[in-house]
Amino acid sequence: MIQKAKGTYDVYGQYGKRLLYIEDLIEGLMEKYNYEYFRTPIFESSNLFHRGVGEATDIVTKETYDFKDRGNRDLTLRPEGTAGIVRSYIENKMYGNHSIPVKAWYYGPMYRYERPQSGRFREFYQFGVEVFGSNDPMVDVEVISIPVNLYKLLGLKEIKVNINTLGDSESRSNYREALVEYFRPYLNDLCEDCKDRFNKNPLRILDCKVDANLEIMKHAPKTIDYLNETSKKHFENVKKYLSALNIDYVVNTNLVRGLDYYTHTVFEVEAKVKGFGSQNVLCGGGRYDNLVETLDGPKTSGVGFALGMERLIAALDYEKIELPIVNNIDLYIIPVSENEKDYSFNMCMDLRLNGFIVEIDYNNRNLKNNFKNADRLNSKFVMIIGEEEVKTGIITIKNNITKEENKIKKEDLINFLDENIGE
Ligand code: HAM
């Protein structure tokens, strides 16, 4: 038997229903926030991610799915959504003719060759947003409020918002120098990857899972001590607007995030669910005021976030949160014999197009098994269509819960169902 590829999963049953419910909620929420739906390709030029996400990141050095197509082009399955949206923003010249800021939302599969474990897949789905063209800290907070409000709407209570700032380019480069000075004497104590990070991007050392418990990590310089006035002010305003929206947050000075493009605000939302382990980071994001320029666009501010759908659903399951999903049908139709099938089939389709959830027997079951099937599908009503019904157009409809029966004319069916469903 051929099995699914490692780190992937199939969607069906209750999981599928929960997923669709959340996708719907996201779509509605994005409409209220006035974001525009974007869809970019699942594969892009490898270069985009090398330059966008960062050459020294774990994502680019160890986790991308790279391939050559038949025209010998270097392509990569997107490991995240931001770089593709930025490419689209630049390529479609949205800085010229779009209303500013451009507020984009997206949803789709991402690919990272990571070691599969709970909450970590090789194919996973992200919902994210990117906002271009405003450096107002209010936008940082609008972005942070999106996952926070989504989690709240879904009933998740135990969440923790961690924020930090990396400052603007000047602050970041002062901080970088401080880190280099600090780590230089300890180079031999660091893992091989961090020795490489030391030269390419020393900030990444703080993010290392291997060296995380070294004593020297605890005393490393903190971004917050290297901020210039503009950066300090930006961060103070972010905190002010978070308070204005009553969003609880914690400043975590060790938060640097695993991608290279951030400036100023970075944030992550954690599920405070006991035993949730490594999958507790539900989402992450931040500001990236240089990325558009790095990818050959005009100087444009950007800020965004992305959340993993798998971790969100796992958190809901863990907290035993029920979602209002429909697990029943309105009507089950039983044609008595071959002769009534066309009449029944036509009625079934008509009722579906009038808004009812209708199923019909496709397996020529006997009456007993058909009633069993109606129960299995949690049908509210059952209709048996025999010779008499077809001839007279008068149908017996049975309430499958109260067992009460009503005889009604075919043309009155829609009214009857309208009045009796949803009570
Ligand atoms: P990220 O932190 O790499 O950020 O990923 C965001 C979220 O995607 C994570 O918090 C997690 O929920 C989910 N995620 C990441 N990797 C996996 C995986 N292997 N399996 C399951 N879920 C996963 C970004 O991707 C940035 N593009 C976010 C961003 C947007 N920053 C600015 N704009």
pLDDT tens digit sequence for 286-343: 999 999 999 999 999 999 999 999 999 999 998 999 999 989 999 999 999 999 999 9
In which element (H, E) is residue 317 found? helix 309-318
Indicate the average pLDDT of the chain: 94
| Closest listed residue to residue 398, CA positions, set 366, 414, 420, 369 | 420
Q: Where are the domains of the chain?
A: 13-168+243-318, 170-227, 329-420
Output the residue whose Cα is nearest ligand 1's atom 16: 120
Rounded to an integer, the average pLDDT of 181-192 is 92
- From 22, 80, 156, mutation site for ligand 1 pocket: most ligand atoms within 8 A of C-beta: 80
Q: What is the pLDDT of residue 212?
A: 81
Q: How far is CA 356 from CA 178, 183, 386, in A?
A: 66, 66, 22
pLDDT band at residue 134 under the 50/70/90 scheme: very high
Q: Which two tokens stand for residue 355?
A: 């808004």
Q: Closest ligand 1 atom, CA of 83?
A: 27
Instruction: Report H helices in 82-136.
Output: 82-91, 94-97
The response to whether residue 330 sits with its C-beta less than 6 Å from ligand 1 reads no
CA of residue 129 to ligand 1 center, whole Å: 12
Q: What is the Cα–Cα distance from 343 to 209, expressed in whole angstroms?
A: 65
Query: Which of 374, 389, 372, 367 shows the shortest CA–CA distance to 330?
Result: 374
Ligand 1 in reach of 239 Cβ (< 6 A) = no
13-168+243-318 shares its CATH topology with 329-420: no
Distance CA 363, CA 385 (A): 15
58 C-beta closer than 6 A to ligand 1: no
Confidence at residue 25, expressed as pLDDT on a 0 to 100 scale: 98
Q: Is 416 exposed, middle or buried (0-12, 13-18, 19+ CB in 10 A)?
A: middle
Q: Cα–Cα distance between 18 and 325 in angstroms, integer?
A: 7
- Kindly report the number of other CB atoms within 10 A of residue 80's CB atom: 19
Q: Which atom of ligand 1 is nearest to the CA of 126?
A: 8
Q: Where is average pLDDT lowest: 21-25, 116-120, 229-233?
A: 116-120
Q: Find out whether the beta carbon of 7 lies less than 6 Å from any atom of ligand 1.
A: no
Ligand 1 near 281 CB (within 6 A) = yes
Q: Is 203 in the pocket of ligand 1 (CB under 6 A)?
A: no
Protein fold of 329-420: Rossmann fold (3.40.50)
CA distances from 273 to 68, 159, 269, 311, 323 (A): 42, 8, 12, 11, 18
Q: What is the pTM of this model?
A: 0.93
Query: Do 287 and 303 touch, CB atoms closer than 8 A?
Result: yes
Flag the least confident range among 164-173, 186-195, 252-261, 366-375.
252-261
- Res 98: pLDDT: 73
Query: What pLDDT, on the 0 to 100 scale, is given for residue 209?
Result: 78
| 117-134: average pLDDT | 96
pLDDT number for residue 200? 84
What's the topology of domain 13-168+243-318? BirA Bifunctional Protein; domain 2 (3.30.930)
b/e sequence 84-113, b meaning 16+ C-beta within 10 Å: bbbbbbbeeebbeebeebbbbbbbbebbbb
